[in-house]
Amino acid sequence: MLHAMQLTLAHIGMRPGSKDEFDTLTRLYLDRCGPFARCRAEAFRTEDALLEWLDRQQGRTPVVPVLLDSRGRQLTSEAFAAWVGARRDDGTQHIVFAIGPASGWSDAARARAQLLLSLGSLTLAHALARLVLAEQLYRAFTILSGHPYHTGH
């Protein structure tokens, strides 16, 4: 089954190694999203490399950049699901969720984001933030589809 929407979980930094348990779990959740959307993970050495890659993404609709940022909006899982569902229902082809450099996003990058998203006020290691985001993407799709994974508690 072909899916109209693609999700990319991107980050600035090194590519995870084959023995990275966080990456193994992140990929597990991205794979679980497979029935709902095409998902992939990408690593970029610099913010500029990510922004240049975003500029090269071609599609029927513009790519939707979502930058994880401590100053961004905090959403409940239900609100996050509703946001993802609204993009899906509007015909968005590609959403890129990106975790930035350790020093934070530049003002230029922040200005390009359609959504600045915060996972909370705690500081998380990049690998853990990727895992939390991948799980929340899976949770969002289960909420949207009525799957019992999410019980709301």
Residue 89 lies in a domain: yes
State how far the Cα of 89 lies from the Cα of 78, in Å rounded to an integer. 16
Q: What is the DSSP letter of 5?
A: -
- Residue 152's pLDDT is what? 57
Residue 153 lies in a domain: no
Collapsed DSSP state (helix, strand, coil) of residue 107: helix
Residue 34 lies in a domain: yes
State how far the Cα of 141 lies from the Cα of 7, in Å rounded to an integer. 12
DSSP letters for 97-126: EEE--TT---HHHHHH-SEEEES-SS---H
- Residue 58's pLDDT is what? 81
- Residue 105's pLDDT is what? 96
- Residue 1's pLDDT is what? 42
Segment-wise mean pLDDT, segments of 10 residues, the chain, 153 residues: 79 80 92 94 95 90 94 95 96 95 93 95 89 96 86 62
Domain range for 80 is 6-145
State how far the Cα of 105 lies from the Cα of 85, in Å rounded to an integer. 26
Residue 115 lies in a domain: yes
End-to-end CA distance of the chain: 32
- Residue 83's pLDDT is what? 98
Number of structural domains found in the chain:
1
Residue 69 lies in a domain: yes
Residue 41 lies in a domain: yes
Q: Supply the CATH number for residue 35's domain.
A: 3.40.1280.10
- Residue 97's pLDDT is what? 98
State how far the Cα of 14 lies from the Cα of 41, in Å rounded to an integer. 12
